[in-house]
Chains A and B, each alone.
Chain A
């Protein structure tokens, strides 16, 4: 027994060594980029630390910021729409049997499993077939489409934990359908709805492939801008942007986690 414990302490197992290497592998590229965002000169030759690229990012990149504004507009509008439609559908699918239920269930998972290129191309061809001009609206429609399955999935998962008797209890105690929805269902599933919404925001801010196909002139989002920077002349401003974006996502994620915890604790 004692010998066994000794053995365990004396060597790190193969699997945990792999795990630590993998974590290093995942972080090193980001770390390099962040490190060089504080480099004074261009390129990978370290000269000395400075905030030059951050100044450039904040004060001298108006088109980046307007792309970011587009990204935000798209993220919020599409996430709100997707959250609204997806939540209602999840409730309907979970609790009612009706014609078309199977169709909606199947179709709601597909956009999640098909490669992004397919979604992008099919929407591009669709929009040009029905002669809709590419622009903010088409991006909004595309983002709502790929966000919807995630809201639907997360709210459905939350509903699975939900005891349907509470809905019956509400009806039994005199609530009509809309009162039941407002006073019982929504308050109970709100954590699922919010995490779905947040997931939509992050995915929408991050999407490049689908947006690439359905964007038109003047409707470029931040990932599209980053793409053009990578493609046509890399500027270390990206390095600075990387760090800002990592910090941004971390802040959102942590505040949201805390928020979710308080919601969970209070219910």
Chain B
């Protein structure tokens, strides 16, 4: 006779059957590799690549070596500038898209370039910015320049191309949240005496916080871990953490150091993701009532200030 399973045992069995193939795959090709990185970052470097089984914090100590520290700081500022640039462009874009009648077409227009291979998009910028590139050729032809100017292989080019690459990552989440925003609140704010800009900053921004944080994380994390863009359009002084990691693995063969840098990237990314999830959750918990209340409060405060200043 076939054994009859209790419902709870059945559930356990079924869940396991369905989910475990993926669980095993991830364990094998994600968890274990990532654990190896964690482990290697605490080991001594081998002479010809690889590691020796000896615990040490050398790798982390090396990170404070000035030449590396410079790269970390540069990575930070490039990432922040590029991310903020993307978001500043993305906010009005998301707003205009949310207000537009042609949302589907606009979405398509934003996404199509994004479907194109990333290397090809980088290549496009190389052919535009390089000394014999499109801009220089055009300017020379117009007689503005006599010989090509180096527009590429500098940090500016890196920031520009990074913004170009990750802009859709900022626009899409912002568009989704702004689209859900109740525009009547803006009218209400205007009605109560706020200027258009004040209404947007004081009423809309607090209500699209989750979109802003998602946009920030979606752009910041990949930019922070960028590898190809600084490699192809950056100059000597444009290396970022991603490039160090690759160099340490393939050229210098210092695996522990590469692992330590990977840990830094991983940790920063995880912190960012959890921050985003936390923000999203908190916004969900906020009821409509509190939004309404904070709106009223903001406007009342604003009025008081206006009255006082008179």
Residues of A near any B CB (own CB < 8 A) = 13-16, 18-19, 22-23, 25-30, 32-33, 36, 43-45, 85-86, 88-89, 91-93, 95-101, 103-104, 107-108, 110-111, 113-119, 121-126, 128-129, 141-142, 144-145, 148, 152, 177, 202, 205-206, 208-209, 213, 223, 226-227, 230-231, 234, 238-239, 241-242, 245-246, 249-250, 253
Contact indicator A226/B29 (Cβ below 8 Å): no
Instruction: Enumerate chain B residues within 8 angstroms of A100, measured Cβ to Cβ.
Output: 16, 19-20, 23
Given contacts A44-B127, A97-B11, 11 further A-B contacts (CB under 8 A): A15-B95, A85-B21, A92-B14, A98-B16, A111-B30, A116-B227, A117-B246, A118-B225, A148-B25, A177-B14, A246-B116
Closest partner residue, chain B, to A257 (CB atom): B108
Alpha-carbon gap, A206 to B167, bound state (A): 18
Alpha-carbon gap, A107 to B92, bound state (A): 35
Alpha-carbon gap, A245 to B121, bound state (A): 12
Residue B32, interface by CB 8 Å = yes
User: Can you show 23 pairs from A to B with CB atoms below 8 A apart?
Assistant: A18-B93, A19-B106, A23-B110, A29-B128, A30-B116, A30-B124, A44-B132, A85-B21, A92-B20, A96-B19, A97-B12, A98-B19, A104-B23, A113-B270, A118-B262, A123-B33, A125-B259, A226-B123, A231-B232, A238-B123, A242-B116, A242-B117, A246-B112
Instruction: Enumerate chain A residues within 8 angstroms of B225, measured Cβ to Cβ.
Output: 114-118
Contact indicator A32/B128 (Cβ below 8 Å): yes
Closest partner residue, chain B, to A35 (CB atom): B134
Instruction: Enumerate chain B residues within 8 angstroms of A208, measured Cβ to Cβ.
Output: 117-119, 228
Instruction: Enumerate chain A residues within 8 angstroms of B19, measured Cβ to Cβ.
Output: 88-89, 92-93, 96, 98, 100-101, 104
Residues of B near any A CB (own CB < 8 A) = 11-23, 25-27, 29-34, 36-37, 40, 50, 89, 92-93, 95-97, 99-100, 106, 109-110, 112-113, 115-128, 132-134, 136-137, 164, 167-168, 171, 221-222, 224-228, 232, 242, 245-246, 249, 255, 258-259, 262, 265-266, 269-270, 273
Contact indicator A245/B14 (Cβ below 8 Å): no
Contact indicator B32/A121 (Cβ below 8 Å): no
Contact indicator A26/B110 (Cβ below 8 Å): yes
Alpha-carbon gap, A107 to B22, bound state (A): 10
Please provide the 4 A-B residue pairs with the shortest distance between their CB atoms, ordered closest to farther. A115-B225, A92-B18, A96-B15, A98-B15
Alpha-carbon gap, A16 to B112, bound state (A): 19
Instruction: Enumerate chain B residues within 8 angstroms of A250, measured Cβ to Cβ.
Output: 112, 115
Known: A44-B133, A113-B221. A118 touches B23 (CB 8 A): no
Instruction: Enumerate chain A residues within 8 angstroms of B258, measured Cβ to Cβ.
Output: 121
Alpha-carbon gap, A129 to B32, bound state (A): 11
Give min CB distance, B177 to chain A, whole Å.
15
Closest partner residue, chain B, to A125 (CB atom): B36
Give min CB distance, B123 to chain A, whole Å.
5
Indicate the member of A125, A245, A246 with the most B CB atoms within 10 Å.
Answer: A125
Contact indicator A13/B96 (Cβ below 8 Å): yes
Contact indicator B113/A26 (Cβ below 8 Å): yes
Task: Specify which of B23, B115, B242 is in contact with A115 (CB 8 Å cutoff).
Answer: B242
Alpha-carbon gap, A206 to B11, bound state (A): 39
Contact indicator A117/B242 (Cβ below 8 Å): yes
Indicate the member of A92, A121, A202 with the most B CB atoms within 10 Å.
Answer: A121
Task: Specify which of A144, A213, A230 is in contact with B122 (CB 8 Å cutoff).
Answer: A230
Task: Specify which of B109, B137, B222, B232 is in contact with A116 (CB 8 Å cutoff).
Answer: B222
Alpha-carbon gap, A245 to B116, bound state (A): 7
Alpha-carbon gap, A202 to B116, bound state (A): 9
Give min CB distance, A44 to chain B, whole Å.
4
Alpha-carbon gap, A141 to B266, bound state (A): 21
Instruction: Enumerate chain B residues within 8 angstroms of A115, measured Cβ to Cβ.
Output: 221-222, 224-226, 242, 265, 269
Alpha-carbon gap, A107 to B33, bound state (A): 13
Contact indicator A15/B124 (Cβ below 8 Å): no
Give min CB distance, A26 to chain B, whole Å.
4
Contact indicator A117/B110 (Cβ below 8 Å): no
Closest partner residue, chain A, to B113 (CB atom): A26
Instruction: Enumerate chain A residues within 8 angstroms of B96, measured Cβ to Cβ.
Output: 13, 15-16, 18-19
Contact indicator B245/A117 (Cβ below 8 Å): yes
Known: A26-B167, A125-B255, A208-B118. A85 touches B127 (CB 8 A): no
